[in-house]
């Protein structure tokens, strides 16, 4: 006698995943790792530095970094500043600011689901957020303070609007126009350019072309109004900042001089960055080759090619800009999930279960080495990489990691047979691995990546009485970190004011003539001289010679 349906459902989740199952998995994926560590070098530190300046000084119209104007589009910084202010009672600013990245990521996954539902139907739509969140490159940027996430959200919303242009032209055009305007506020004009010919293509495919084109022209007005809400006050209140912003935009639009090199870099990046969306998109192209002229297939193909052209021509082949290639790849890959042959689907599923179970085991063994010094040799290697680190047992983090591991074991043992089981196991396994890294390994990773101790040592080395600090070869992320941690600000050595400073801070630069080194420091893993920071004091004899009427040789 077969069990009633209620009892069968208790054995495991249903596939395709229901709304609540999908929402819980994605929320766990998104918000794990946003907190619990300091700002890290590059985009994370720079973004938090700008937000810190914004919240502290209240200059929401114009952005600045460590006291210096930072002409960039403001949307992500505004949202991060808002979350930083709202959650200041609970979290430090850098962690509260990263919640904005979580919000944009959540919206991007929601919009890509809606776009896939319009293009491919309700049954296949859950594969879209699983594929986007499961892309390896997306994992890294979704958990840092990253302005490109706001642009990614705008792209996914735009695809949703264009996908419904034939069925609900007014709502689709309004959604597209809002996405276009907010995307400009997120990262400027260049990242939004590929959406314009894609929109014209979608209107041409519409049953009523004339009406669709008129709606899209109206959507441009919506976009212009949203952009003007910032540009207008900027023109009246800070024309110099606006001029610098447009100068940067025009420099991008003039294009780079290495498009072929950028293309080669992206082609080398995408096989792992866009896994598993890329191979599934390739399979969908082959399996649905007779449907390539239909909108569900043609729109993502065109969007991918135009976005690729924009990146290699204007934006540069960086990991952050490659995020914009993921939505069209995902929309193309969705039908590839359901059409994958049984043997390939089973092989993909077994690969996922074995791979992430193995990675989970490695994560636990590595944690044991960090905290309990077992295995001993592995613990010694970890301490050699980050000298001075002392692992400590945290009951809450360990319990959370155990719970995640048990849920993974339950999931792979009870998931029913379905074409979507492979991608579900991939996404769940990736979430488990990220959860284990965030709960077990984060103290060790943060110890090696944070500049907080370096900033504190630098602040201690600075004399109480000083005129100013000049800087040479300091990246924006370092300027942001020192300002955020200890309020240390510098002036560029090439500026008129910086040339008169009595202190000089350098990073990996040769010893300058006429300066005496008073301090050197770096993170525990910074062993090369190029990785370390040096603080110099102006040589007294040189300073006297440079003064009018000083000693002559």
Tell me, what's the pLDDT at 2? 43
pLDDT tens readout for residues 325-382: 999 999 999 999 988 888 999 999 999 999 999 999 999 999 999 999 899 899 899 8
Tell me, what's the pLDDT at 482? 96
Residues 342, 37: Cα–Cα separation, whole Å: 43
Could you write out the DSSP letters of every residue in 212-234? HHHHHHHHHHHHHHHHHHHHHHH
CA 286, 288, 289, 292 torsion-angle sign: negative
Q: What is the pTM of this model?
A: 0.93
Tell me, what's the pLDDT at 541? 59
The DSSP letter of residue 519 is E
Residues 15, 123: Cα–Cα separation, whole Å: 10
Tell me, what's the pLDDT at 546? 52
Structure tokens at 328: 């069209």
Residues 99, 86: Cα–Cα separation, whole Å: 11
Collect the ranges in the chain with pLDDT lower than 50. Answer: 1-10, 547-553
pLDDT tens readout for residues 219-237: 999 999 999 999 999 999 9
Q: What is the enclosing helix (H) or strand (E) of 158?
A: helix 148-163
Q: Which of 224, 107, 102 is nearest to 157 (CA)?
A: 107
**Residue listed under structure tokens 């994370």:** 44
Helices (H), 393-467: 395-414, 421-436, 442-449, 452-461
Tell me the Ramachandran region of residue 501: left when phi exceeds 0, alpha when psi lies from -120 to 50, beta otherwise.
beta
CA dihedral 69, 71, 76, 82 (to 10 degrees): 30
Sheet holding 503-507, edge to edge: 491-492, 469-472, 503-507, 533-538, 515-521
Residues 406, 416: Cα–Cα separation, whole Å: 18
The DSSP letter of residue 2 is P
pLDDT tens readout for residues 77-103: 999 999 999 999 999 999 999 999 999
Please tell me the chain's helix, strand, coil percentages from 3-state DSSP, rounded to the nearest 5: 70, 5, 25
């Amino acid at each position: 006698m077969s069990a009633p349906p209620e009892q069968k459902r208790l054995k495991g989740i249903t596939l395709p995943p229901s709304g609540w199952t999908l929402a819980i998995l994605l929320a766990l994926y998104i918000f794990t790792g946003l907190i619990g560590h300091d700002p890290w070098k590059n985009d994370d530190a720079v973004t938090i530095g700008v937000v810190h300046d914004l919240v502290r000084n209240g200059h929401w119209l114009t952005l600045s970094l460590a006291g210096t104007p930072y002409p960039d589009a403001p949307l992500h910084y505004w949202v991060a500043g808002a979350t930083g202010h709202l959650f200041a009672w609970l979290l430090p600013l850098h962690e509260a600011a990263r919640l904005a990245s979580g919000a944009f990521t959540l919206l991007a996954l929601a919009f890509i689901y809606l776009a896939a539902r319009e293009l491919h139907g309700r049954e296949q739509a859950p594969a879209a957020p699983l594929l986007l969140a499961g892309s390896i490159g997306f994992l890294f940027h979704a958990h840092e303070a990253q302005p490109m996430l706001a642009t990614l959200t705008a792209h996914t919303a735009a695809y949703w609007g264009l996908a419904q242009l034939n069925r609900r032209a007014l709502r689709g055009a309004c959604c597209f126009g809002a996405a276009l305007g907010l995307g400009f506020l997120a990262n400027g004009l260049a990242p939004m350019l590929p959406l314009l010919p894609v929109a014209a293509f979608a209107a041409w495919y519409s049953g009523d072309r004339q009406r669709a084109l008129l709606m899209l022209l109206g959507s441009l007005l919506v976009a212009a109004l949203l952009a003007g809400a910032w540009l207008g006050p900027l023109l009246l209140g800070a024309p110099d900042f606006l001029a610098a912003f447009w100068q940067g935009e025009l420099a991008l639009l003039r294009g780079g001089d290495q498009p072929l090199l950028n293309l080669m870099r992206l082609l080398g990046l995408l096989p792992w960055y866009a896994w598993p969306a890329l191979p599934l998109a390739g399979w969908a192209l082959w399996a649905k080759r007779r449907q390539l002229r239909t909108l569900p297939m043609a729109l993502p193909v065109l969007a991918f090619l135009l976005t690729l052209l924009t990146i290699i021509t204007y934006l540069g082949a960086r990991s952050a800009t490659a995020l914009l290639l993921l939505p069209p790849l995902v929309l193309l890959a969705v039908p590839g999930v359901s059409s994958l042959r049984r043997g390939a689907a089973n092989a993909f599923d077994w690969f996922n279960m074995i791979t992430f179970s193995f990675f989970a085991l490695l994560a636990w063994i590595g944690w044991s080495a960090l905290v309990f010094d077992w295995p001993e040799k592995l613990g010694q290697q970890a301490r050699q990489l980050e000298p001075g680190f002392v692992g400590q047992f945290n009951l809450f983090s360990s319990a959370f990691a155990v719970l995640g591991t048990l849920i993974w074991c339950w999931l792979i043992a009870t998931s029913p047979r379905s074409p979507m089981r492979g991608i579900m196991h991939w996404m769940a396994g990736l979430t488990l691995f990220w959860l284990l890294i965030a709960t077990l390994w984060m103290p060790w990773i943060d110890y090696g990546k944070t500049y907080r101790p370096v900033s504190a040592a630098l602040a201690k080395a600075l004399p109480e009485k000083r005129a100013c600090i000049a800087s040479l070869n300091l990246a924006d992320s370092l300027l942001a970190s020192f300002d955020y941690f200890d309020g240390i600000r510098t002036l560029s050595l090439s500026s008129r004011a910086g040339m008169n400073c009595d202190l000089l801070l350098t990073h990996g630069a040769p010893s300058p003539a006429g300066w005496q080194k008073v301090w050197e420091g770096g993170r525990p893993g910074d062993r090369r001289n190029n990785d370390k920071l040096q603080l110099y004091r102006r040589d007294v004899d040189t300073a006297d010679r440079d003064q009018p009427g000083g000693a002559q040789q």
